[in-house]
Amino acid sequence: MSELFNEFLQRANQVLQHIEPLLPKPTEPIDWNTVYAASWQRKGNSSFFRPIQLDADIRLADLLGVDRQREQLLRNTQQFMRGFPANHALLWGARGTGKSSIVRALLAEYALQGLRLIEVERNELADLPLIVESLAALPQHFIVFCDDLSFEVGEGDYRILKSVLDGSLERAPDNVLLYATSNRRHLLPEQHSDNQHWQQGDGGELHPSEAVEDKIALSDRFGLWLSFYPFSQEHYLEVVQHWIAEYARPAQLDWQFSEELAKQAISWASARGNRNGRCAAQFAKQWVGLQLLEQAD
């Protein structure tokens, strides 16, 4: 009997040795007193926070033409930082208009007051319950940030995410908020075929199909929606001047905004098919760099 028992223990130990590498490992500790931003990573069977260095060169004052959106998100974040009720936020709209920059500028503004940023890829949002649980007892305030959150036609994992958000966000601790950006208001593409089954009610009311409701339900998990629109030409040129001034200042470059310079900026945007803040900053870098190169030569 003793030999059988010892043989059983040996086999059980062998099985455990084979299983152990497959078991999830605990997250690595991180010192949030010195780390201001991190990304959630999966490596093999381990999940952990990886510290990242975010550039602090974007300030809230640099985000021109989005005053309403900036102020609303700033107030929401201030409520959050002071322990008052605050909403999870979805920033949606045209690309390059400052959605991600606003979130990162908020970190630069409030990092010394205890704000921390955790970047999570869309495919990792299934780990949201684990992330939230690991942050709940910490003294800092955490924004879980998902950049460019969207789904394509036929992807079913948005339903999984919806259920995860339901449980994680509704029971999120007071020190955790989710901010997400997307080019789509409802995070999914909306097609004309979505409306083909709409019916006309007796009172003339339109009743959307269940498929449409299902798509809208995901973005409804965010209490605060902020819309970002393509820049007008006037807005674009204003941002161009701002960034030229920012890049020219350290080099003490003398410059004036002229009609010719405006034409160059407009041509630059036309070649890219879009007028936005990112395009304006890129043109300013190119133009200021070229002026400095010509001076050096």
As a whole number of angstroms, the distance between CA 126 and CA 112 comes to 30
Residue 208, strand partner residues:
none
Per-residue pLDDT of the chain (297 residues; tens, 9 = 90+): 566 656 666 676 666 566 555 545 545 578 999 999 999 988 777 788 999 887 767 888 888 888 899 999 999 999 999 999 999 899 988 888 888 999 999 998 999 999 999 999 887 877 888 888 889 889 999 999 988 876 665 554 556 566 666 666 667 788 999 898 887 665 555 444 444 544 544 444 454 444 555 556 666 778 888 988 888 999 999 999 999 999 999 989 999 999 999 999 999 999 988 888 889 999 999 999 999 999 887
As a whole number of angstroms, the distance between CA 160 and CA 149 comes to 14
Start-to-end Cα distance in the chain = 91
pLDDT for the residue 198 = 45
As a whole number of angstroms, the distance between CA 54 and CA 117 comes to 10
pLDDT for the residue 158 = 58
pLDDT for the residue 257 = 92
The dihedral region occupied by 256, where left means phi > 0, alpha psi between -120 and 50, and beta the remainder, is beta
Give all domains of the chain, ordered by start, each with its CATH number. 37-188+207-228 (3.40.50.300), 233-296 (no CATH)
Q: Which residues, at least 6 apart from 113, have a Cβ–Cβ distance to it below 8 Å?
A: 81
- For residue 135, give Cα distances in angstroms to 93, 182, 272: 30, 25, 42
pLDDT for the residue 205 = 42
Structure pTM?
A: 0.75
Computed from CA positions of residues 207, 200, 191, 225, in that sequence, does the dihedral angle turn out positive or negative? negative
**Burial class, 246, CB count within 10 angstroms (exposed 0-12 / middle 13-18 / buried 19+):** middle
Please compute, for residue 176, the number of CA atoms within 13 A of its CA located in the half-sphere on the CB side.
21
